[in-house]
Amino acid sequence: MIRVDAAPGTEPTTVAGLPGRMEAVVGDQVLAADAGFVQGGTQPARSARSLMTGAATTVLGSSVGRHRPAPGTGRCPTARSALHEARRRPRRLGRLPVRRSPRPRRRVFGGQPPNPQPSGSTVGVMPIKAVVWDVDDTLFDYTGADRAGMRLHLAAEGLLDAYDSAEQAIVRWREITDMQWARFSAGEVSFEGQRRDRVRVFLGEELSDAEADAWFQRYVAHYETVWNLFPDVLPVLDALAASHRHAVLSNSSIHVQDRKLRALGVHERFEAVLCAAELGVSKPDAGAFHAACAALDLAPHQVAYVGDHPEIDGRGAADAGLLSVWINRDGLYTSDDALVLADGGPHRIASLAELPALLGSDTRFGAPSTFG
């Protein structure tokens, strides 16, 4: 089934020749057809057809579209061959080997990026047309909100007495979060499952799913009261609004990030929002970055990616062929982390205020690394 969401009031697009049952959501209406056409989205017909056939998992507007096999076939040849081809390509940059995440157990549909960069390209051949953004600790102060929200939650639950200090409890929560998030990224557990396991490990109790969910939702209620964008986010989005298109690629879920972006007042700034839970593939896998490029109908060398993690975001985007920009706020990562990436493509910035100048300079191909 294909599902395409479009904002209310937008003109639907007709996409022909796609097998299987299809469904479209336009505003509050759901339109479906058994075969032959699907309506929805705001892309031109040719572009939308290219998106659906070239990348079996993509996002139009703010929602995920998935192309599943036609009933009785059990196969999606276009998606399978595209993903195989994308994974078969050389994935080395500079002298450093690519670190791949373990293959997820979830079914993966990854699209081959359109119009890959020809070999022998030089500086300035193709300008950057779009910026794809990470969310947590790039646009949104996740670490600050998580710490403040958990402090409030632990106090409300009467759990602080079990630790020498609130800081000790928060550090423990963060360690468990990182461990369970790695399992989710590797496809070992679902998005909801990693949340429940974070609670069980932190409390040291065998809770039911319902009990773990209830505890986590009480934490979320405190966490959401301290949500904030970083102060440099709105100025840079304003500065790049006329010159670049924008999308989001996150290792979270659509449900979480869509709601977050709306609450923070920036959802309408982005053409597409893609998340690992729905894509079935996580950063740093190249398939995640290529899905974002396909959602914009752009080749990787036409897209910049901005994220806060040196390997998941910085190295992952560079190895996928995007202009990679690693934002290291407040020196969060050590010099050793920077040395890991020194011989390669990511450009390091300390503030998003540096981004417009970077995008406007001749740093796309063959320029020296900024990790000096």
- 295-322 pLDDT per residue, tens: 999 999 999 999 999 999 999 999 999 9
Fold of the CATH domain 144-224: DNA polymerase; domain 1 (1.10.150)
pLDDT of residue 186: 87
The winner for highest mean pLDDT among 25-29, 183-187, 229-233 is: 229-233
Q: What DSSP state is assigned to residue 117?
A: P
Question: Each residue of 278-296: pLDDT tens digit?
Answer: 999 999 999 999 999 999 9
**Residue whose pair of structure tokens reads 């007495």 in the numeric block:** 161
Q: Provide the β-strand partners of residue 349.
A: 327
Mean pLDDT value of segment 107-111 = 33
Mean pLDDT value of segment 60-66 = 37
Q: How many Cα atoms sit within 13 Å of 18 on the Cβ side?
A: 30
Helices (H), the chain: 45-54, 77-88, 142-157, 166-185, 191-203, 209-224, 233-240, 254-263, 276-279, 286-296, 316-319, 335-340, 355-359
The CATH H-level (homologous superfamily) assignment of domain 130-139+229-359 is HAD superfamily/HAD-like (3.40.50.1000)
Which pair of tokens denotes residue 83? Answer: 């993903």
Question: Each residue of 2-60: pLDDT tens digit?
Answer: 344 444 444 444 333 333 333 333 344 434 443 333 333 333 333 333 333 333 333 33
pLDDT band at 332 (very low <50, low <70, confident <90, very high): low
pLDDT of residue 51: 36
pLDDT of residue 275: 98
Residue 267 has pLDDT above 90, yes or no: yes
Q: Provide the β-strand partners of residue 65.
A: 58
Give the three-class secondary structure for 179: helix
pLDDT of residue 95: 32
pLDDT band at 141 (very low <50, low <70, confident <90, very high): very high
Domain locations in the chain as residue ranges: 130-139+229-359, 144-224
Mean pLDDT value of segment 143-156 = 96
Which pair of tokens denotes residue 230? Answer: 């970083």
Contact 152, 170 (CB under 8 A): no
Contact 32, 89 (CB under 8 A): no
Residue 133 has pLDDT above 50, yes or no: yes
Residue 121 has pLDDT above 60, yes or no: no
Which pair of tokens denotes residue 232? Answer: 């440099």
Please calculate the CA angle 136-142-143 and round it to the nearest 5 degrees.
125
